[in-house]
Chain A
Amino acid sequence: NAGVTQTPKFRVLKTGQSMTLLCAQDMNHEYMYWYRQDPGMGLRLIHYSVGEGTTAKGEVPDGYNVSRLKKQNFLLGLESAAPSQTSVYFCASSYWGRGGNQPQHFGDGTRLSIL
């Protein structure tokens, strides 16, 4: 049981390039999230999904797109990378259980640098 797996772990891009970050969870969780964390700050929510085929914007969605074609995968896309998107990206998932939405499980992060 791997939990939440993020791919890749590190990446360096040039301004204007595009890429996709992959998040996979094997816990059959309904909810999945993408956060970014900048140095010395807490995590900020980019986009989230409450189920297969559905996505919604979080606190800082500009410049990113997401897709949830399969329940276990949540993809984060950067269409035209900008230096301001240099950050550590974390994916998380959670399930709906007794009492409501249960605590989130996080991946180990993707460290992305945009030059």
Chain B
Amino acid sequence: QQQVKQSPQSLIVQKGGISIINCAYENTAFDYFPWYQQFPGKGPALLIAIRPDVSEKKEGRFTISFNKSAKQFSLHIMDSQPGDSATYFCAADAGKSTFGDGTTLTVKP
């Protein structure tokens, strides 16, 4: 049973646009929700993370919105740049990480 569902599978955005990736979880024991960025041939790197007692967290161009009652959270990338083209994974942690299946983002110049 997939505990973290991520959508869309792929996303194409124009430079300067907003990229939005969504995740939903089922296990209410999760207490930490990180987003990772992964480039080909590299391991995932932490981008931004949130705990469930906060509804929004912003770091630079990256924002997480968290809806505890709906068990959903999303990543917004403002002013998307071609260098943001990568695969993004959401995860939910409860002592160990459960990852979504990833979203391949392409930002066109």
Chains A and B form a bound pair? no
Q: Which residues of A contact B (CB under 8 A)?
A: none
Which of B's residues lie within 8 Å of A, judged by CB?
none
